[in-house]
Structure 1
Amino acid sequence: MSSPARRTVRALRHRPLAVALASLTALVSLTACGGASDAATDQVAPKGAKGGTAINLGPDQKRVHTAKVDAIAAKLPEAVRKRGTLNLGVSTGSAPPLAFYATDDRTLIGVELDIATLVADTLGVKPEVDPVSWENLFVGLDSGKFDGVFSNVTVTEERKDKYDFATYRLDDLAFEAKKGSGWKVAGPADVAGKTIAVSSGTNQEKILVEWSRENEKAGRKPVDIKYFQNQTDYYLALQSGRIDAYLGPNPTSAYHVASAGQTEIVGKFSGAGAGLQGKIAVTTKKDSGLVDAYAAALNHVIENGTYAQVLKRWGLSSEAVTTSEINPPGLPRTKN
C-alpha cells in the first residue's frame, strides 16, 4: 500500500470534495446514524434524490452482501480460487458516486466497490482493491497484476482486442455547465468553438474529439479541449469561466449537480455515441478465464435483487442492466 506521505497527499487531494459535501446542510436533508456529529459527516441525501434516501459517506459502509454460490465459484481459474482473493483495480480519478474516499479520507467507497463486493461474495473470494491512475488500470491488467477492473470502463471495439468484458451498468455521459447557462447540447454543432474539459484516455474524450473533427469538416469551429489532473480542478475551471462545460460520466455529474447546487446538466448521451447504448463492464485480460465467472456472478446478483439494492443506494437505478453480457457491441473504432 502507499506510504504515510502518499496517503497524506491523497487525502489532501480529495478533502475539498468531502468537506464540501459535509457542509451542504442548507441544500440537503440529513439522516443521523448515531450522534448529531455523525449526521453532518457520514449521511448526505443529495438535493432531489428520489425518495430522500440518504447516502452514507462514512468509512463504515454497511455494504450489501450476498452468499457464495459454489457452482459459479467453480468457474474461477484454479489459481484464483486457491489464492482466495480477487486483485481488482479502481481509478483514483473517479468521483462520487463511482469510487471515492469516505469522510476519513482513507476508505474507498462507491458503487464500483459495492458491485465488486457482490461479485467477490458470489465467487467466495475476498476483493483486494488497489486504487491507481486511469492509465495504470490497463497496465495492471496487461501485467497480470489485476484480475479485473471495476472503474466505469466502457466496452469499446478497440478495447475488445485486448480485454474481455462482462457488463453491469448502462453507460451515459453528460455535459455539465455552470448553473443558469441557458445552453443545451444536442449534437456536435452545439459545442463548436466551445471550451470543453474531459479526462484523457476516456471514451468521452474519443467522442468529443470526433465531434470536433465533424465540426471542422462542416466548416464550424473545432472544440477547444482542456485536460486537468483531478475533479476539483474541473469544477474550479467551470466556476471561474475558464471552460464552458465538462464532459464526464453521467453518474458523477448528476451527483455533483445535486450535491453542490452550482452546475446543471445541459446534455446527456450514450457513452457509445449515436445509435448504440454504451455499456459499463468489469474488464479483465483477454482469455484470462475470468470473464465467464464475472458474468455468471453478476447475473446471479441481478436475479437475487442485491444488485438493485446497490444501484438504488447510490441513485443509479436508471442505469441498471437486466443481464450481464460478455463482450457485447462496443463503442466503434476511431475513424482515420
Structure 2
Amino acid sequence: MPATLARRRVTAALLGLASALVLASCADPADGGTTEVADASGRTTKINTSPDQHRVTTAKVDSIAAEVPEEIRRRGTLEIVDSSGSAAPLTFHATDNKTVIGVEPDIASLVADVLGLEPHFHTVSWENIFVGLDSAKYDVGFSNITVTEERKEKYDFAPYREDNLGFEAKKGSGLKVTGPQDVAGRTVAVGSGTNQEKLLIEWSRENEKAGRKPVDIKYYQNDSDTYLALQSGRIDLYLGPNPTAAHHAATSGKTEVVGTYSGAGATLQGLIAATTKKDNGLVEPLADAIDHIIRDGTYAKVLRRWGLSDEAVTESRINPPGLPRSGT
C-alpha cells in the first residue's frame, strides 16, 4: 500500500477513535460500581466496575478446541498472563480492589470458552509477562501487547484489537501532538519496555537529526505517580495506550488527549495480539477462536461494553506486519 494512502487511512481511523472515546463522564457510587462515559455525539457507555462482571460467554467449538496442543487439552486450563498495572478499561481492579476486570480478561475468557478451557489469570509486572511466556509458565499473554517485528523473533501473535496510542496532557494545556516536532524539548512520560517507548525514542532521534531538541523522556513506577507529575507540571505529556488515556481523561476531568497515533507508526495500523511463545502450537487455535467470536457477535458485545468498538478488527491474521525495527 502506498505510504500516503496508508497514512490517510491511519489518520482517519485515529481521528474517529479520538472523537469516539473522549469527552464527558459521570459516576454514581450508589449504582453498584459503574462509570458512564459519553462521547461528543452524546452516545454513552456505562462501564461496570464492580467485581460482579456478568461476563459475555460463548460455547466451546470442538473443531477449534481439537487444535490445542495435547498437553494443554489434558490440563484443561488456559494459563493467561496480564500486566499488574491498573489501566482502565484494558486491565484494572474492580471496586473491591482485588478482582481483575477489563476488556483484556473479557476477550481472553471468550477465547478460553471456544477452546473448552478454564481461564486462569496471572497478573504480573510487564517484564515478567515475557519471562513467563519464555519459560512456558504461561500459555498466552492478553495484556495490550503490540505486534512488533522484533517481538516476532520470539513470539507468535494472534491479533484481536487495533493498537492506537494517546498523548495525554493536563486539561487546558493548549498542546497538540501530530508528529515528532510537537514533542521536541518536551518532557514526556512513558512506560519502560513498551512499544510507545520505542516510538518516542525514535521521535526524539528524528528531532535531533532535524536540529530540534530531543525529548526529555521520564519513567514512573505507576500511573498514579505519572498523573501526579502531569498535574504538578513536572511533565508535559504522558504517552500510553489511547483507550487508557481517553478513559482517564473522561473519568478524571483533569486531563485531555491532545494527539493520537498508530502503535505501528505513520503508515501502518498497529495491532494488539494474543501472544505466545514462538512455535508452541497455540497461535493457530487462538486465531481461529478469535475469528469465531468475531463471527458469533460476542467479540462485538465485549468491545461495546468497554466503549472500544472503534478498535475492532475483522479477522485475526497470524503474525501480521508489526512496528518496524529501529532504523528500518
Could you tell me the TM-score, scaled by structure 1's length?
A: 0.88
Q: Deviations over 1:159-200 (max 9, x none)?
A: 000000000000000100011111111110110000000000
Pairing of 1:95-106 with structure 2 (within 5 A): 95-106=87-98
Runs of 4+ with >6 A deviation:
none
Out of 153, 156, 161, the position equivalent to 2:145 is 153
TM-superposed CA distance for 1:47, in Å, is 4.4
Q: Deviations over 1:55-77 (max 9, x none)?
A: 11000100000000000000100
CA–CA distance in structure 1, aligned partners of residues 310 and 86 of structure 2: 20
**Which protein, 1 or 2, shows the higher relative CO under an 8 Å CA cutoff with sep ≥ 6?**
2
Out of 22, 26, 29, the position equivalent to 1:28 is 26
Kept after mapping to 2: 8 A contact 1:92/1:131: yes
Where does residue 233 of structure 1 map in the other structure? 225
Query: What is the SS of the residue equivalent to 2:106?
Result: helix
Pairing of 1:1-336 with structure 2 (within 5 A): 28=26, 30=28, 38-39=30-31, 41-48=32-39, 51-335=43-327
CA–CA distance in structure 2, aligned partners of residues 53 and 27 of structure 1: 9
CA–CA distance in structure 2, aligned partners of residues 112 and 162 of structure 1: 22
Kept after mapping to 1: 8 A contact 2:59/2:113: yes
Kept after mapping to 2: 8 A contact 1:42/1:103: yes
Structure 1: stretches of 5+ with no match in the other structure:
1-25, 31-36
CA–CA distance in structure 2, aligned partners of residues 271 and 27 of structure 1: 26
Q: Which amino acid in structure 2 is aligned with residue 86 of structure 1?
A: L
Could you tell me the TM-score, scaled by structure 2's length?
A: 0.90
Query: What is the SS of the residue equivalent to 1:171?
Result: strand
Query: What is the SS of the residue equivalent to 1:228?
Result: coil
Structure 2: stretches of 5+ with no match in the other structure:
1-23
* Equivalences, count: 304
Q: Percent identity?
A: 66
Q: CA RMSD in A?
A: 1.4
Q: Deviations over 1:24-79 (max 9, x none)?
A: xx95154xxxxxx641x511112448632311100010000000000000010011
CA–CA distance in structure 2, aligned partners of residues 47 and 123 of structure 1: 35
TM-superposed CA distance for 1:324, in Å, is 0.7
Kept after mapping to 2: 8 A contact 1:89/1:148: yes
CA–CA distance in structure 2, aligned partners of residues 140 and 38 of structure 1: 40
CA–CA distance in structure 2, aligned partners of residues 162 and 225 of structure 1: 27
Kept after mapping to 1: 8 A contact 2:38/2:45: no
CA–CA distance in structure 2, aligned partners of residues 284 and 238 of structure 1: 35
Query: What is the SS of the residue equivalent to 1:166?
Result: strand
